[in-house]
Amino acid sequence: MQTITRRQFGAAALAGVLALAGLAGCTDAGSSTGSASGSSPIATTASSDTLRVGVRADIVGFGYLNEKTGKYYGLEIDIANELANRLGYKNVEFTTVLPDNRKELLLEGEVDALVACYSIADARLENFDFSPAYYDDKVIAVVQNSSLFETIDDLKGCTFGTMSGANAAPLLNIKLYEIGFSDGEVRSANEDNSDVQFDHWRLVQYPSYQELSDALEEGEIDTMVLDGAIAQTYMNNERHILDDFVVEEQSFGVATQKDSELSPKVADAIQGMLDDDTIDTLIDKWN
């Protein structure tokens, strides 16, 4: 709300007045519309009064769709609601996005913003605008206890699994190269790069986190590499995170279309939420 300029407000007010004048004949409906648009001037500048947000449906604590109720719950859902509230939207429409399609959905304008465990990365910054980070996370490696792996060095010659579409695979390759685990050269790969052989390790990619987790359970892969936030959903007593191995620290931000009208407002709103500890409170609530 603080971002409204005098000129915008003038336009909005004018629009409100016009709406009022146009509908002066009808009483109730007309006046309520008029006052509504008058009281939330920002709505008139957006395409509608609904903010369409792409969220995850499978990450407990961030964006989780309760099949029973058809509602989403989680930190990101609360952030999206608060964001819409601060931007003056009346409604929020959630759309489930997957790592595979979230990029397209935003580019095509199916959603106005992504609040979907979307980490801020240089490659992504070329296509999108990101708000300040609302959550800091790490990409980590999870192993089964029964494999008796304790350090990354135990995993020489082993199979690493990632989720295709996530940026864990390239980050992993870089990281393994950096720590001298591997020379980073691809020895062989299948056609869609879902099974790549490196010098001391093999990379297998799965279309979903569930399949990734199942592969780990079965033993097809020896470790899975994924975002810490997401890993929470798939952790159990039989698994642990490799202590000495962090692939990448990353931060989740709200993504909007590059240079769109919405970008600065979203950035300001998120910054506002960070400044007044709203986000901290929400993180507290969901942890």
Partner 1 sequence: MSKHLRIKITALLIVVAASMIVMGALLTNMQSSLSHGNYDEEMKQEAVQLERLLAEADEETVQNTEQFDAIYQSKAAQVAYMAQNDAGYAETDAKMVELRELLDVDNLFVTDRDGEVLAQSGETKADFTYARFNALRDTFRTHEPSAAVEIELPEQDWLMRYYADRIDDDTMVIVEQNPTELRELIEATGSTASVLRNISIGQHGYVFAVSAKDLVISYHPDEDLIGADAIDAGLNVADLEDGNTGIMKIDGEELFCRVMLQGDTYYISAVPESDTAASGSVTVGVILFVFFAVIAAVTLYGIFVLRDEARHESEEGYEEHYVDHGAFRFNRSVAGKAAVLSIVGFICVLVVSFYMQTLFALSSQSLTNNERVEQIASTIKRSQQRADELTEQYGERYLSKAQVAAYIIDNNPELATRTKLQELADALQIQYVFTFDDRGVMTATNSSFTNFTLSEDPEEQSYEFRKLLQGVEYLVQKPQPDEVSGELRQYIGVTTHDKEGELTGFVQLGIRPTRLENLLEIVQIGNVLDGVQAGVDGFAFAINKSDGTFAYYPDDNMVGKKATDCGMAEDELKDGFSDYITINGKQYYASATETSDYYVFVAGTEGALMNERAPLTITTGVVALVCLAIVFCLLTFDTTMPAEEQTAEGNEPEENRDNSRIVNVNVGDRTVRSESAASRWLNRSFNWDEMTPEQKVGKVLRWFGSAAVIIVFLAIIFKDAVFGEDSLFSYILGGSWERGLNIFAITASLMFACEALTISAIIQKILQMISSVLDARGVTICRLGVSIVKYAAMIGILYWCLGLLGVDTATLLASAGLLTFAVSLGAQGIVSDIIAGLFIIFEGEFRVGDIIQVGGQRGTVMEIGVRTTKINDGSGNILVLRNSNISNVVNMTKEHSFAAVEVGIEYGESLERVESILSKELPNIKDRLPAIVDGPFYKGVTMLADNSVNIKIVAECAEKDRVVLTSDLNREMKLLFDKYDISIPFPQVVVNQPIKFKKATAAEKAAADKFNAEQKEAFKAYVDENEDFDDFNDTDRH
Residues linked to residue 144 through DSSP beta bridges, in sequence order: 239
- The stretch near partner 1 (CB under 8 A) out of 4-12, 65-73, 102-110, 122-130 is 65-73
Contact residues for 214 (Cβ-Cβ < 8 A; gap 6+): none
Choose the stretch contacting partner 1; rule: CB under 8 A; options: 64-72, 109-117, 132-140, 171-179: 64-72
* Alpha-carbon gap, residue 280 to 160, rounded angstroms: 34
Phi-psi region of 180 (alpha: psi -120 to 50; beta: other; left: phi over 0): left
Of 128 and 245, CB closest to partner 1: 245
Among 15, 58, 73, 241, binds partner 1 (CB under 8 A): 73
State the residue for tokens 């509908």: 23
Within residues 212-251, the interface with partner 1 by CB under 8 A covers 214, 216-220, 222, 232, 238
CB atoms near residue 13 (< 10 Å): 14
Q: Are strands 58-59 and 50-55 parallel, antiparallel or unpaired?
A: unpaired
Give the span between the Cα atoms of 278 and 75, in whole angstroms. 11
Letters for 186-215 (x = contact with partner 1 by CB under 8 A, - = none) are ----------------------------x-
Smaller CB separation from partner 1, 213 or 256: 213
285 binds partner 1 (CB under 8 A): yes
Closest approach of partner 1 to the CB of residue 143, in Å: 9
* Interface with partner 1 in residues 132-161 (CB under 8 A): 144-149, 158
Q: 10 Å Cβ neighbour count for 223? A: 26
Tell me the CB-side half-sphere exposure of residue 134, using CA atoms within 13 A: 37
- 3-state SS class at 55: strand
| Selected binder of partner 1 within 69, 123, 185, 188 (CB under 8 A) | 69
Of 2-10, 24-32, 67-75, 183-191, the segment contacting partner 1 by CB under 8 A is: 67-75
Size of the site for partner 1 (CB under 8 A): 28
Q: Which residues pair with 203 in a beta bridge?
A: 160, 196
State the residues that interact with partner 1 by CB under 8 A. 60-61, 64, 66, 68-69, 71, 73-74, 144-149, 158, 214, 216-220, 222, 232, 238, 285-287
